[in-house]
């Protein structure tokens, strides 16, 4: 499965799980952010990601350097629970 296919699958799953009223708010907020020009300041495809260290779900610090040492890295952000 390609990355695009996997991301499409995740989006479809989220659309089924998120209540419609919450989903419409999320989509409207995302659209407003895109229209604001905020994407002009984000890292573009192919640019290196700045190094970071963040806690995982178990509270353990995980560094991007350690993850990259294992291979390519895809970063996602979990926005909450419904």
pLDDT tens profile 29-61: 999 999 999 999 888 888 888 999 989 889 999
Domain count, the chain: 1
Give domain status of residue 73, yes or no.
no
Q: Is residue 10 part of a domain?
A: yes
- The tally of CA atoms less than 13 A away on the side-chain side of residue 18 is 18
For residue 17, tell me if it sits in a domain: yes
Instruction: Spell out the residues 6+ positions from residue 53 whose beta carbon is closer than 8 angstroms to its own.
Output: 61, 62, 63, 64
Q: Is residue 74 part of a domain?
A: no
- In what helix (H) or strand (E) does residue 62 lie, and over which residues does it extend? strand 61-63
- Which domain range does residue 16 map to? 3-68
The pair phi, psi for residue 22, each rounded to 5°, is: -70, -40
What percent of the chain clears pLDDT 70, i.e. is strictly above it? 95
Average per-residue pLDDT in the chain? 89
Establish if 57 belongs to a structural domain: yes
pTM of structure: 0.49
């Amino acid at each position: 499965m390609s990355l695009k296919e996997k991301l499409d699958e995740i989006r479809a799953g989220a659309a089924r799980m998120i209540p419609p009223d919450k989903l419409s708010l999320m989509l409207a907020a995302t659209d407003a952010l895109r229209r604001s020009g905020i994407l002009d300041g984000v890292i573009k495809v192919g640019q290196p990601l700045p190094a970071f260290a963040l806690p995982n779900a178990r509270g353990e610090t995980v560094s991007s350097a350690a993850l990259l040492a294992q291979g390519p890295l895809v970063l996602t952000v979990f926005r909450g629970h419904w």
